[in-house]
Amino acid sequence: MRRREFVLAVACSFAAAASVRSQQNLPVIGFLVAGTQASHGAWVTAFAQRLSELGWTEGRNVNIEYRWAAGNTSKMATLAAEFVQQKVDVIVTSAYGAVAAKQATSTIPIVFAAYADPVAGNLVQSLARPGGNVTGLTVQPGDLNSKRLELLRDIIPTARRVTALINTNNLSASEEVIGIRTAAASLHIEVEVLEIRTADEIELALAGIKGRTDALYVFSEPLTNANRYQIIKLANAARIPTIFGFREFVDAGGLVSYGPSFIDLFRRAAEFTDKILHGTKPADIPVQQPVKFDLIVSLKTAKALGLRIPEMVLARADEVIE
């Protein structure tokens, strides 16, 4: 069975058993997934596996209820409210799901597996002392813009124009744009920002991109992740090199990604959840930062685009897809 099919099978089996498990007198984890089973299934599975390693067996001493928001921010609020009404013991989520969950409850513990800046987003008082019912892991996106653009310049030394695809509905969009523009200015690269808010706007935003840019930088968040196959198909058809924030985009046919390992982040979110289920308050669990970063390069995509990846880039890569 292929990896993607296995992930989907695991996620579907969890969802199918949810109604039965909810009737049992066990602690309940409400997992509000920002994306889809296709986009986030591997991360959800990593969370469940780590939770199992920590002694939590689903259906025996814990239940997990899954809700899939498919990158729809308004849907996250509705799903978070459902978990509050259900009185789950802890809500696990990421991205905007953390905001939706906090808006829905100030008492149920919330763990975010990945969030840009939880202090600026008013999720926590500080990283060291969260101070409320929310804690988790920050992904520090602003610190990575320069490294991604430098990677593009290493791969395409002649690059002078970069297009950034940004979902402006994401709360971190403004920070991301500022980071990209600042990094680009230091490298003397011109940036064009393409704004989207829904999946329906992606094709129109990327129409005519061929010939007016040297590379496409995709703000990697739930909406673009859930629609990564469409984005990559359009970019590759226009023969535009692409760079992303995490490896799932490269698995889908993108050129290169650099950023925190989301598999690792979701596994660590399980450790936060374990502490909460054992009685630790979120206010007493410091927010943590990424410790594992991945550089993934696709030689297959590079060949299709007529690019040669420099040896110095390949030597730094954590994985090369051939």
Check whether 19 has a pLDDT greater than 80.
no
237: tokens are 């058809």
Contact criterion met (CB below 8 Å) for 8 and 43: no
DSSP H or E stretch at residue 5: helix 3-16
Provide the b/e sequence for 307-317 (b: ≥16 CB within 10 Å). Answer: bebeeebeeeb
DSSP H or E stretch at residue 165: strand 161-167
Provide the b/e sequence for 14-35 (b: ≥16 CB within 10 Å). Answer: beeebeebeeeebebbbbbbbb
Contact criterion met (CB below 8 Å) for 256 and 151: yes
- Is 136 exposed, middle or buried, given 0-12, 13-18 or 19+ CB atoms closer than 10 A? buried
Can you say how many angstroms the Cα of residue 204 is from the centroid of all Cα atoms in its chain? 24
Amino acid 320: pLDDT: 97
In the structure, what pLDDT confidence band is assigned to residue 97 with cuts at 50, 70 and 90?
Answer: very high
In the structure, what pLDDT confidence band is assigned to residue 175 with cuts at 50, 70 and 90?
Answer: confident
The per-residue pLDDT for range 55-82, each reduced to its tens digit, is 999 999 999 999 999 988 889 999 999 9
SS3 (DSSP) at 30:
strand
**Fold: same for 3-140+262-292 and 142-260+294-321:** yes
**What value does the mean pLDDT take over residues 198-219?**
95
Alpha carbon distance 205, 215 (integer Å): 15
SS3 (DSSP) at 95:
coil
Q: What is the mean pLDDT of the chain?
A: 91
- 3-140+262-292, what's its fold? Rossmann fold (3.40.50)
- 142-260+294-321, what's its fold? Rossmann fold (3.40.50)
5: tokens are 């099919």
**What value does the mean pLDDT take over residues 224-237?**
96
Provide the b/e sequence for 188-198 (b: ≥16 CB within 10 Å). Answer: ebebebbebee
The per-residue pLDDT for range 103-116, each reduced to its tens digit, is 999 999 999 999 98
Q: What is the pTM of this model?
A: 0.84
* In the chain, domain spans: 3-140+262-292, 142-260+294-321
Among residues of the chain, what percentage have pLDDT more than 90?
82
